[in-house]
Structures are given as C-alpha cells and as structure tokens.
Amino acid sequence: MTGPAPDVVHLVVAKAPVPGQVKTRLTPTLSDHQAAALAAAALLDTLDAVRAAAEGGPAPVIALTGDVDGAAAPGALRAALATTVIIAQRGDQFAERLANAHLDAAGPEGAVVQIGMDTPQVDPAVLRSVALRLSDPLGPDAVLGPAVDGGWWLLGLRRARDAQHLVGVPMSRDDTGARTLAALRSAGLRIELTETLTDVDEVTDLAPVAATAPATRFAELVRVLDPLVAPDGGTPA
C-alpha cells in the first residue's frame, strides 16, 4: 500500500472471545474453548489487518463488548488492543449498536470503514481501497461488502451518521445484505459493492477460509484442529 492514508476511521465491532459466548455454532463439533480460541485468532488477525490498512491515518477503533480477562488468549488480545482506541458498544439491538459504534468512532460527519471479527482472511489492501474511495469527492457515499451467507462483512460510510439507516434492518439473516442495501438506497446514498467474503459461522466455513489466508493465526489453529474441522470428518484436501 502506497500513498498517504485517508482520514478515515477503521472500525472493528467485536465481542470478547469468552468460551461458551462466541462461535457457538461451531459446537458441539468443537469444544467451547476451541471455538473461543478460533474466535480469538480471528480477532487478532482482523486487528492486524486494520492496523496495516490504517497505517499513517487515524488509529483503528474497536467497539468491544465482553470480558477480555475471561477470553481465550487474553494476553495477546490485551497487547493487540493497546494499539487501538477502545469504545463500548451501546444499544439494545445489534443494528443499533452498529449505528452507535460508527457515530462514536468518527463523529456524525466522519468517514468509517467497519468490519467484524468473522473475516480473518481480509486483505488490508481491500480495506485501504475502500477508505480511498470514501475519501474521494467523486466516490460513493457507502461501500458494502457482501457475505456468501447473504449478510455483509464490511460497511464503509462517507458520513458515519448514515449508519442510522441500519436501525430496523434485521441482522444475522440470509437476507440481511439485501435489506441493508435496500435501506441505504432508500436513503438516497450512492453505493458501491466490494468483494464477497465468507464469514466464519459454521464448521464448514473453517477450512475454506483458512485456505484463503494460510499465514494467519486462524489458519494455523484450523490446521491444529484438523481433522475435526474437515467437511467430511477427514483430512481437508
């Protein structure tokens, strides 16, 4: 990545990877602790990506909920979080917490590139390119990254206040991406789409996601857990 970093905040919305509280759809194939360890690895890889994308610009912000001290890999997480600005999530529904996180991270007129902790394979260059598009006067008002499961993995906004249009959109459904796109369009925003990625939600997601980013902590742990995570119960091809 070359050139000056745009004045765009990179935001991660995350939950502390406490066993039994995260990645519960990976159980009972994996234990609560194994699922939490994968979540911790994914979060650490995600923080690496946003730090690289934000280099030379504003410090990354993480909207965090949960107890880091009770999480898997607490020492590594505390060290990684020390290089970010931590804000608390606020709001009753997830869509409301997302909207508030955008506002709290950048103020109503600030630009934000927001992701979660479910795409450890994310390329920092993609995040940087989204930030550049949002900082271009001729660029879009919003950039949406579709997820394979019908949701979305990235939302970039030229003005953080436009995250208010998420409120009322049902989250964690197979039509969340389409509903989010419709809500943004209904608000009159100019929208671009970026690449489609796979969120890590199910056991069958683990090996394919790890294969796209073999040098990550996440991929290393998936290899350790082989053959548990193989789609057919055997060694992944």
Query: Rounded distance, CA 132 to CA 57, Å?
Result: 12
Q: How far apart are CA 94 and CA 96, in angstroms?
A: 5
Q: What are phi and psi of 84, to 5 degrees?
A: -120, 170
Sheet holding 8-15, edge to edge: 85-88, 61-65, 8-15, 111-115, 152-157, 142-146, 191-193
What are the sequence ranges of the domains in the chain?
8-225
Mean pLDDT of the chain: 93
With a cut of 60, say whether residue 236 has pLDDT above it.
no
The dihedral formed by the CA atoms of 46, 171, 31 and 115, expressed in degrees to the nearest 10: 0
Q: State how far the Cα of 99 lies from the Cα of 110, in Å rounded to an integer.
A: 13
Kindly state the DSSP code that residue 6 receives in the 8-state scheme: P
What tens digit of pLDDT does each residue of 64-93 get? 999 999 999 999 999 999 999 999 999 999
**Alpha-carbon distance values, 202 to 19, 27, 103, 213 (Å):** 16, 9, 31, 17
Helix and strand numbers, DSSP H then E, in the chain: 7, 7
What's the distance, CA 173 to chain centroid? 16
pLDDT band, residue 119 (cuts 50/70/90)? very high
> What CATH number does the domain located at 8-225 have?
3.90.550.10
Task: Give pLDDT tens digits for 4-56.
Answer: 567 999 999 999 999 999 999 999 999 999 999 999 999 999 999 999 999 99
